[in-house]
Amino acid sequence: MKDYFFVPGNRLHKLATIEALGVYIIIDLEDAVKASDRVAIIDELCNNPLKYKKHYLRIPLYDVRLQANTQALQKLIDAGYSNFVFPKLQSNSDFEFIIKTIGNIDLKLILLVETARFFLELQQILLTNRGLIKGLALGSHDFMSEIGGNHTLKNLEYPRIQLLYLARMINIEAIDIASMELKDENLLQEEIIDGFQKGYDAKFYIHPWQLESKRKMKLYTETDLEWAKKVITALEKVEDKEEFNPIIIDNQIIERPHLNKAKKIINHYGTK
């Protein structure tokens, strides 16, 4: 699983340290900073685009009246930025308004789904804007706050599964929720492994401790690794890989779809 790490926009001096962790960085200009600080942060980003534009920017898209507003977004685009996280979108019409306002721009967007209406309208948005959208994620805390429910894995089961399937529908990254847990390692690791076993490609992180905890985990077991080695060994004996026929390994029928899983396991351990 890939690691996406939120860095508050008022801590740009910490970027070098976070970059050394080998993560994908999201500079947060929304919830993590005061509104009064945003002008100075955006000015810094616009004055030094070569320094920061490889990262994603989570950018506020609404004004104090909760009207869609692209002023800050447009300023950053004009400065050369193209990677954005769009949070708190209220509706399909708001998304279309924003895209129409900024014009035909080559962007890479991660949609952070945090409202019920946008969640329910999402399928059509993805089908009509698939060229713009790179990733999809659930802003689970805002989402459950609007729903009025407790933030638990059980209560989040349906929206997490739905967003995963929608991401697969157009072959984009599915990014799992950010955890606020900074103390109980068992709870954090339970959440990480749950997303991994569901099939998520990546996860959001907000603190280096969370990354340290994740990197101590074995997302696959030794048994998984031994199984994968047997599958790959059997595949290597096939002269024409396109003619791979089902085989039996450890009393289990192995078909072509199992090959991708075996390769993922081998690659996972190969990067350790």
- Binding region for substrate: 58, 114
Rounded to whole angstroms, the Cα distance separating 126 from 110 reads 11
Q: What is the separation of C-alpha 133 from the centre of its chain, rounded to a whole number of angstroms? A: 12
Length of the chain: 272
User: In one letter, which amino acid is 135?
Assistant: G
Annotated binding residues for Mg(2+), written as ranges, equal 114, 142
SS3 23: coil
* Per-residue burial over 243-264, b = 16 or more CB atoms within 10 Å of its CB, e = otherwise: eeeebeeeeeebeeebbeebee
**By three-state DSSP, how is residue 226 classified?**
helix
Query: Residues annotated in the binding site, as ranges?
Result: 58, 114, 142
The dihedral sign for the CA sequence 237, 242, 245, 249: positive
**Spatial separation of the C-alpha atoms in residues 99 and 179, rounded to whole Å:** 30
